[in-house]
Structure 1
Amino acid sequence: MKVAELFAQARNSVEAKMVYAEPVERDGLTVIPAARVSAGGGGGNGRDKNGQEGEGAGLGLSARPVGAYVIADGKLRWEPAIDVNRMVAVGGAIVVAALWLVGRHKKAQG
């Protein structure tokens, strides 16, 4: 498959249903899950010293839940998803940065 064909196929396959799931209805409540979808790709072609040509491409796709729209009693509200792993990672990074700054401050004082 040529690089241009690959990207055209990928572009045509991006749809809203990649972001929003089918609504789920139970007991008068409707939930529409949503996700953040990111994609990236690259490709190229070239020729070696013997005149042989080649090309290649790659695509990547990432999806993470971000929350859901909830419809109850005729009212719509957004319920964000909580990513505990991300919260722990950010908290850890803050602690490491704080310890590093304290160490630098003590070294400068001492």
Structure 2
Amino acid sequence: MADEGSELVSIEETVAALATRSQDGQVFGTPVQQGETTLVPVARVRTGGGVSGNRKTRSGGAGTVAEPMGAWVVTSGGAEWRPTVNVNLIVLGGQVAFAAVGVACAIAFRRKR
């Protein structure tokens, strides 16, 4: 029975860690106002956790990943969504396209021989 108690403590600690990481203000950031324009930053937040191990050695963990998505620009004329630009994703796409062209050229020149 002592093992079940330690298992519950480990699960409770993991859930408590997730609750601590999932606080208010993570998806919508603090609004920033300059003049008549207000910016509200927005992020995608993913939280997860788990417990693993056998009855004698049980461990747990929790983690949070936040990715900026954009910002709402609020003016007297209304609100407008401005998405962020992920430059790393654009560069990766260019590298994959370049590699695909290189492989296609290598196959084409190899067949001509």
How would you bin the TM-score normalised by the shorter chain? 0.7 to 0.9
- The answer as to whether partners of 1:3 and 1:44 remain within 8 angstroms in 2 is no
Which residue number corresponds to residue 15 of structure 2? 8
Q: CA deviation at 1:16?
A: 4.6
- Greater per-residue helix proportion: 2
TM-score (norm 2): 0.77
- The answer as to whether partners of 2:72 and 2:81 remain within 8 angstroms in 1 is yes
What residue identity is the alignment partner of 1:45?
G
RMSD over aligned Cα atoms? 2.1
- The answer as to whether partners of 1:21 and 1:32 remain within 8 angstroms in 2 is yes
Ranges in structure 2 where 5+ consecutive residues have no aligned partner? 1-5
1-side partners of 2:42 and 2:71: how far apart?
Answer: 5
1-side partners of 2:50 and 2:102: how far apart?
Answer: 39
| Aligned length, in residue pairs | 105
TM-score (norm 1): 0.79
Ranges in structure 1 where 5+ consecutive residues have no aligned partner? 48-52
What residue identity is the alignment partner of 2:73?
V
Q: Which moved more, 1:86-95 or 1:98-107?
A: 98-107
Identity %: 28
